[in-house]
Copies of this chain bind each other. A is one copy, B any other.
C-alpha cells in the first residue's frame, strides 16, 4: 500500500502520537510506503482565505468557484499543492485525530476545507457531463479510514448510547467527505476511554491498531449506496421501494446491518 497518514494532534508524546508511531512502524516493517502530513508539526494553516488562491480575485463568486479556478490554473498556494501531490500518490488515506466536539479538530477541518477543492476532489464530470459523486469523484479508487480517540466509554457511542452511534457521528466524514469524493470509507478505529488509558490498555490498543492497518487493503468498506446505482431518484431522494420506511442515516447503507464497532 501507499498510505498518506494525516495526524491532527498537538503533542507527539500523546496517546495518539504513540499510536501513530506504532501504526506507521508496522506498515513500514511490512514494506508498505507511508507519507505523513503531521498537521501541527507542519503548522498547517486551518482557515480558507484569499491567500489560498492569490492569483484569483474571488470577487462576488462563491469560495468554491475561486478555489476551482485557482486549482485549474495551478494557482493554489504551495502547501495545498503539496497535499494534492501526496493524495495523488496514495492509494489509502488515514485521518488520525482526537474527537473534539464530535468532529475533527479545526486544523484537520481546515485541511479538508482547503485541500479537497472543487475540480480536484469533487465537481468532476463523467463522459456524459454528469457530476461524479458518492462512490465516484476525483478521489475514486482510493480508500480512507478514521482513527480517533474519545474519553468516553464504548457503550456511550453504541447504537443507543447517549453520544450517538460513532458511525452516525462520523457520517459527515465517512459519507459526506470520503464517499462523496469517491473514496471507500473503511470502518473507523476508535479508541475509547482515552482519558484513563493504562499501559496494558495501550499494549492491547497498539496490537489491535497494527493488525487493522496491515489489513486496510482487504478491509470491507462501509456499504454506502452509489448515487448512480439506481437507488436514488432525480431529486436525490431514496426511491420509495428501497428500504421502505427507513429514514435518516441508516437509509444510506445498502445492508440493513450496519458495521457496528
Contact = CB atoms under 8 A, between A and B. Distances in A.
Interface of A: 10-11, 13-14, 40, 44, 46-50, 58, 60, 62-64, 98, 100-107, 109-110, 112-114, 116, 134, 151-153, 155-156, 158-165, 168-169, 171-173, 175-177, 195, 227, 232, 235-238, 246-252
A169 B159 CA distance: 17
Copies in the complex: 2
B105 A48 contact: yes
B175 A172 contact: no
A156 B236 contact: yes
A135 to B, nearest CB: 11
A102 B112 CA distance: 11
A245 to B, nearest CB: 10
A49 to B, nearest CB: 6
A168 B249 contact: yes
A252 B106 contact: no
A63 B103 CA distance: 16
A27 B105 CA distance: 33
A160 to B, nearest CB: 4
Given A176-B163, A177-B102, A156 B237 contact: yes
Given A10-B49, A46-B107, A48-B106, A238 B162 contact: yes
Nearest to A233: B155
Given A11-B63, A104-B109, 7 more contacts: A47-B106, A101-B173, A103-B109, A153-B235, A159-B251, A160-B238, A165-B248
B106 A109 contact: yes
Given A164-B248, A168-B168, A248-B165, A235 B156 contact: yes
Contacts of A64: 151
Contacts of A58: 10-11
A232 B156 CA distance: 10
A222 to B, nearest CB: 13
Contact of A251 (B49, B113, B160, B235): B160
A104 B247 CA distance: 24
A62 B44 CA distance: 21
B100 A113 contact: yes
